[in-house]
Structure 1
Amino acid sequence: MSTRPSTVPEGFTPTGTIATHADRRRVVFATVVGTTVEWYDFFIYATAVGLVFGQLFFAPLGANSAIIAFATVGVSFLFRPLGAFLAGHFGDKYGRKVVLTWTLILMGAATALIGLLPVYDTIGVWAPIILVFLRILQGISAGGEWGGAVLMAVEHAPKKRRGAFGASPQIGVPLGLLLASGVMALMAMIAPGDAFLEWGWRIPFLLSVVLIVVGYYIRRSVEESPVFAELSARKEKARMPIVTLFRGHALLVFIAALVFAGNNAVGYMTTGGYIQGYATNPEGPIGLERGPVLWAVTGSAVTWLLATLAAGFVSDRLGRRTTYVIGWILQLVGVFTLFPLVNTGDVGLLFGGLAILTIGLGFTYGPQAALYAELFPASIRFSGVSISYAIGAILGGAFAPTIATALVAATGSTDAVTIYLAGMTVVGLAATLLLRDRSGIPLGPDHEEEQARSPIYGMSRA
């Protein structure tokens, strides 16, 4: 391992000049816009599943069409590791910036094509087949997007503000949900009833083209991560980063994945479209109107955003681990209050249940970018954070809406769903407690020996 002074000290750009506030603000803005566009595209599908896809693409498949439709949300997660492996490999070899550009284009193209796709009544079984294929492309893109975005933010950040900077790409999730739900709610007003089924749902997908152009332009304007720039200049990039990752850090990847799984399973009650579908199902116990439910979800995205931002700042003061523990406790409270409030059939109380839940979700998501970046050595960091995130998404949110739908169908009650979500929260808490807090650890390539020491309690730190 190299021990000479870093050629790009923390707080400096790859050219050796001190990074200005404007430079960092540009990076933060680019990561927020890019991840918001990516997650808007990803969530607009899940929202549509709960509202229209079951009827338009899967209803002819039989009585289990709702479960099948929600399963397509989860199918994309199975391909996130492929996106993470590809992005991790190319991101550790060729840079964070180039990967982020291509994931944005892939996601936008897949989303826009969904908006043009004929329904089952028009082309038969090819409609759900093509829909699933496009959802798989979304999954590959999402698998590669997150790791690059968080590293661009965290690796540009001052040491004492990594949590705050890392929260910037994290708020792309609630912003994407807010945008997706808001646009869907607006279209439900513009094209109510049958018009929404006929053409209204397509507009939010087609809008992706405009968002992608904006996101692409902004992302192209930022500098490459200084950590990767130094690795490249010194020719110290890993030749086979994924092999190196699993050879020395396989257990760490799994534990980090469980941390995210505890958040992701609960978060996908809204981002996966389950609450929207459950609350608006005309044959269900609530049967609320589509528009008010979408506005309630949109409102809860605001509380999620604020909690995510707050958690990033708090983690810079209290540490990642302590902030997470607070978050798991808050999330558990939200899990136990969610369905009692949703099942009242009152839109205001439904919003209250979601708002309480999203405070805990924010505190178990805001610090994740900084936490993950501080777990892995510089030369394999993109692979480490991307693959941990992708595996966590499979173990957590991939089939959470499907599991929830099946549990309610089997038991006739949401109690089993609450137990399932509480169990996932406890899993996330346990995984967090297995990790040492490494807040402030140097991220540059000169400190790979320190970074490579295991952060897992009970494991050798030599």
Structure 2
Amino acid sequence: MGAIANQSNYEAEPATLTRREERQVVVASTVGTLFEWYDFFIYGSLAVFMSQVLFPPDNPTVSLLAALGALAVGFIIRPIGAVLFGYLGDKLGRKITFLTTVVMMGGATLLIGCLPTYETAGHLSWILLLTLRVIQGLAVGGEYGGAVIYVAEHCEPKRRGLLTGWIQITSSAGLILSLVVILITQASMSAEDFRHWGWRLPFILSIVMLAISIYVRAKLNESPVFTRMKQQKRLSRNPVKETFGQWRSLRLVLIALVGATAGMGSTYFTGQFYVMIFLQQAVQISQATVYQLLIIGFVIGAPTFVLFGWLSDRIGRKWLMMAGLFASALGYHAMFGALLSAGNPALAEAMKTTPVSIHADASGGSCDFGLQAALVSAHSDHKKVCVQAKKFLVSKGINFEYAAPLPGQPIAMSVGGVTVNGFDAKAYGEALAQAGYPSKADPARIDRVSIVAILILMTAVVAMIYGPVAAYLVELFPPRIRYTALSFPYHIGAGIFGGLVPFVATYLSQASGNIFGGLMYPVVVTAIVGVLGCLLLPNTRAEAVDHDPSY
């Protein structure tokens, strides 16, 4: 696959590949990465269904948050996988991580499809789920660094952004593939069958892609840069110690995190993943319609990852990424507001003309919805009538304002001149319907063209950061510790700052009583990271990736 000649000078640029050899390297790297992202996203796409069968059924809201929490666990564990496989990649080679991570991910995905339900196994069902999510997180933590480094260490500097951009596109491609498989599965059976057992099929079917990925990756040669370092005895004795124990390298890791990857993760999972939850939970569009719109929008928008990778080869990477961060911070409220207006105009109009008021003493703690309550169903916060009213309204995509308490009433709701004392879901629903609030988005009034256009715009904003970041990180770190040093800040940013977006944003929306409240998290993170990135990030150069500067 790689007709790369050995070179004794470690700063010499690798021999130029033919276009055919480039394609072989890129395809071999992206196929396995696409599969791993499919595995990782298939869980998030089916979290609503899994929350109904793998978690306690007594509180649907808490079960959904717990399912999203399990999604977050897989992301949080990724930095550990980055260190573990970064060490192996810098010590033993890039290729070994490809096979190991893909087998771990594929095996865990298959087993998730075979998990017992809460009804049959009790708490063991979600304990096993968390265990498998940990394995998936470790695998993804080792996957990304190996893939982008493998491609970058083969290609010529002036094409590094373009070719690593194909690795960046696999995350969106994996999400698209997961949605397509889910839609096909749902179309082949009744809704009841899918809810009970059909959701397992997308997990089990991944065994086909696992076999293909193993076959492709087994044929890969080792990275030419790693091969030369090994021959010239330039490998790090302990890449973890050298990365985190020496200030000159740790400093670069921290700068990459606070100046780029934390914002990258927050932007990506807001514009590519949380938007899916928002369209279903807040805009009240059916799941099938949401998936169809996402597939169209993401397919059209996906080439922008390669486009901005290519553009970074021409104009530089740093300021392109900073522009994407500020576009996210400044534009998310407007974009999500436009999604609401396009997807459910009746709801948007009702909230504008006939606002909802909750009469309660908000300052007295009766309406507090603590973070512990989002995780523990037995917590007393769930028994508060004000909390129940808040969750009911937010689950319908309805914002509200607090008003003065009514005499003798701990909670009451007013809308359209009608006041409902206490909390009664049926009475609330009737009052809201009379005031013009729809129970669901009207399919006939959904502006699909506008929604797809907004999704394409969101994808392009994400791509401004995500497209160039792989090449940027490769250029930032020296080859002897590159796998470890690159993977750690990337997976802290994507795994923790990004992976927490669905859970934290959902929690903030429910806690604040505002369907846009969850956007506070990504907006603040991207704004801070954008400022720090402008001040701290160095401008990397498209030099030979064998180059080992005195950083």
> Considering the TM-score relative to the shorter chain, is it more than 0.5?
yes
Alpha-carbon distance in 2 for matches of 1:293, 1:234: 54
User: Match of 2:231, as an amino acid?
Assistant: A
8 Å CA contact 2:276, 2:290 repeated in 1: yes
Alpha-carbon distance in 1 for matches of 2:493, 2:157: 26
With over 3 angstroms needed to count, the CA separation of the structure-2 counterparts of 1:185 and 1:270, relative to structure 1, is: farther
Alpha-carbon distance in 1 for matches of 2:544, 2:508: 46
Alpha-carbon distance in 2 for matches of 1:69, 1:61: 14
Residue by residue over 1:23-52, the C-alpha shift from the partner in whole angstroms, topping out at 9 and shown as x without a partner, is 221001111211111100000011111x31
Matched, 1:384 2:387: no
Select 2:14's aligned residue among 11, 16, 20: 11
Alpha-carbon distance in 2 for matches of 1:350, 1:192: 28
- Paired residue for 1:417? 518
1:85 to partner: Cα distance: 1.0
Matching of residues 183-262 of structure 1 within 5 Å: 183-246=181-244, 247=246, 248-258=248-258, 259-262=260-263
1:211 to partner: Cα distance: 0.5
With over 3 angstroms needed to count, the CA separation of the structure-2 counterparts of 1:252 and 1:9, relative to structure 1, is: closer
Matching of residues 282-297 of structure 1 within 5 Å: 285-297=282-294
8 Å CA contact 1:167, 1:367 repeated in 2: yes
1:189 to partner: Cα distance: 2.1
- Paired residue for 2:265? 264
User: Match of 1:6, as an amino acid?
Assistant: N
Matching of residues 259-338 of structure 1 within 5 Å: 259-269=260-270, 272=273, 274-281=274-281, 285-332=282-329, 334-338=331-335
Select 1:428's aligned residue among 510, 513, 529: 529
8 Å CA contact 2:91, 2:235 repeated in 1: yes
3-state SS of 2:305 partner: helix
- Paired residue for 1:112? 110
User: Which deviates more from structure 2 when the two are superposed, residues 212-221 or residues 100-109?
Assistant: 212-221
Alpha-carbon distance in 1 for matches of 2:286, 2:472: 40
Matching of residues 160-199 of structure 1 within 5 Å: 160-199=158-197
Alpha-carbon distance in 2 for matches of 1:149, 1:162: 13
3-state SS of 2:65 partner: helix
8 Å CA contact 2:88, 2:97 repeated in 1: yes
1:7 to partner: Cα distance: 6.0
1:334 to partner: Cα distance: 4.4
User: Match of 1:117, as an amino acid?
Assistant: L
Aligned sequence identity (%): 33
1:188 to partner: Cα distance: 2.4
1:333 to partner: Cα distance: 5.2
1:435 to partner: Cα distance: 1.2
1:304 to partner: Cα distance: 4.0
3-state SS of 2:234 partner: coil
With over 3 angstroms needed to count, the CA separation of the structure-2 counterparts of 1:412 and 1:30, relative to structure 1, is: same
- Paired residue for 2:42? 44
Residue by residue over 1:134-155, the C-alpha shift from the partner in whole angstroms, topping out at 9 and shown as x without a partner, is 1111000010000000001111
Matched, 1:404 2:402: no
- Paired residue for 2:69? 71
1:419 to partner: Cα distance: 2.9
With over 3 angstroms needed to count, the CA separation of the structure-2 counterparts of 1:84 and 1:196, relative to structure 1, is: same
Alpha-carbon distance in 2 for matches of 1:127, 1:70: 15
Select 2:52's aligned residue among 19, 40, 55: 55
Alpha-carbon distance in 1 for matches of 2:287, 2:161: 37
Residue by residue over 1:155-208, the C-alpha shift from the partner in whole angstroms, topping out at 9 and shown as x without a partner, is 111111110111121111011011011111222222342121122211111121
- Paired residue for 2:542? 440
Residue by residue over 1:219-257, the C-alpha shift from the partner in whole angstroms, topping out at 9 and shown as x without a partner, is 222221111011111111101001101113222212212
Select 2:340's aligned residue among 340, 343, 347: 343
With over 3 angstroms needed to count, the CA separation of the structure-2 counterparts of 1:435 and 1:269, relative to structure 1, is: closer
With over 3 angstroms needed to count, the CA separation of the structure-2 counterparts of 1:300 and 1:81, relative to structure 1, is: same
User: Match of 1:387, as an amino acid?
Assistant: F
Give aligned pairs, total: 436
Alpha-carbon distance in 1 for matches of 2:11, 2:255: 31
3-state SS of 2:86 partner: helix
8 Å CA contact 2:267, 2:325 repeated in 1: no
- Paired residue for 2:130? 132
3-state SS of 1:343 partner: helix
Alpha-carbon distance in 2 for matches of 1:195, 1:28: 40
Select 2:31's aligned residue among 27, 30, 33: 33
Pick the structure with greater CA Rg. 2
1:270 to partner: Cα distance: 6.0
User: Match of 1:327, as an amino acid?
Assistant: G
User: Match of 2:14, as an amino acid?
Assistant: G
Alpha-carbon distance in 2 for matches of 1:255, 1:355: 30
Alpha-carbon distance in 1 for matches of 2:106, 2:82: 18
8 Å CA contact 2:508, 2:517 repeated in 1: yes
User: Which deviates more from structure 2 when the two are superposed, residues 394-403 or residues 81-90?
Assistant: 394-403
Residue by residue over 1:349-392, the C-alpha shift from the partner in whole angstroms, topping out at 9 and shown as x without a partner, is 44333222111101110111110001111100000111111211
Unaligned runs of 5+ in 1: 13-17, 454-462
8 Å CA contact 1:108, 1:212 repeated in 2: yes
Superposition CA RMSD, Å: 2.0
